[in-house]
Homo-oligomer: A and B are copies of this chain.
Amino acid sequence: MTAEPASPTEGVVPRTFAVLEALTRSPEPMRLSALTLRLGLQKSTVHRILAGLIGLGYVQQNAETGCYSATLKLWELGANVITEHPIKRAASGFLQELQRVTGETVSLVIRAGDDVLYLDKMISPRPIRFTTRIGSRVPAPLTAGGKAILAHAPDAQAVLARTATGMGGKRRLDVAALTAELQQVRERGYAMASYQPGVVGFAAPIMARGPEAAAAISVSAPAERVDETGRQQIIEHLLSTCASMAEQVGRL
């Protein structure tokens, strides 16, 4: 049942979501042929699915180019999920305050499989903009927030192993070094990383209810803007913020 012969048929619903996922992942609207190619489906099948989605209002078709794209109705659907999310709700005030006192970009991430997921972000008023987007995923071991969470995850080793093998030669993961680093993170209470070149990130876990981290808050800044004293101040604010939030979340 669960093991399908080869690729018999997969049902409308999974295919419908595959179409939506393809459309939303693409920065610009997609043509029908691009979708069929990417999904490995029949032209007519994709066309029929798209027609249904247009009827429901989740997809629109550019009248001139004929390209398809997801509509804001799809965004509305998901938006309610996050506004109800307890951690995101609890974090809002803390993020804002931390952004204010540090003057840098702060983010809220949670773990999602072997990745971290950016739940919220408050960007710095200063010139530099980061490219991390709310709703995007990044392999956990690459980011400060991910390390902060993994340091308190029982399956951290497995995550490191999977991530190391998952990424080809490009930026090899040094599992041994990371393992040692996670130990350090546990001791000092915060993690550091430089996922994007020229940007340093500091993060601390939200330790609420139980030994695992519910989330992490990170502060990111251009490397040249952070000297030793700035670093210490950021870390101080970060740790006290996370402690306060953990306390509040813990007694919800």
- Residues on A close to B: CB < 8 A? 11-14, 16-17, 20-21, 24-25, 27-28, 49, 52-53, 55-56, 58, 70-72, 74-85, 92, 96-97, 100, 110, 112, 117, 119, 123, 125, 133-137
What are 13 sample pairs from A and B whose C-beta atoms fall under 8 A apart? A12-B13, A14-B56, A17-B58, A20-B77, A21-B77, A24-B77, A24-B80, A72-B119, A75-B135, A76-B78, A77-B77, A83-B136, A92-B123
Tell me if B56 and A135 are in contact (CB < 8 A): no
A75 to B56, CA, bound (A): 18
Given A13-B56, A16-B13, A123-B96, A134 and B72 touching (CB < 8 A)?
no
Query: In the complex, what's the smallest C-beta–C-beta distance from A61 to chain B, in angstroms?
Result: 15
Given A12-B12, A13-B16, A96-B125, A75 and B81 touching (CB < 8 A)?
yes
Point out the residues of chain B lying under 8 angstroms from A52, CB to CB. 11, 13-14
Q: Which of B82, B117, B133 contacts A83 (CB 8 A)?
A: B133
Tell me if B135 and A79 are in contact (CB < 8 A): yes
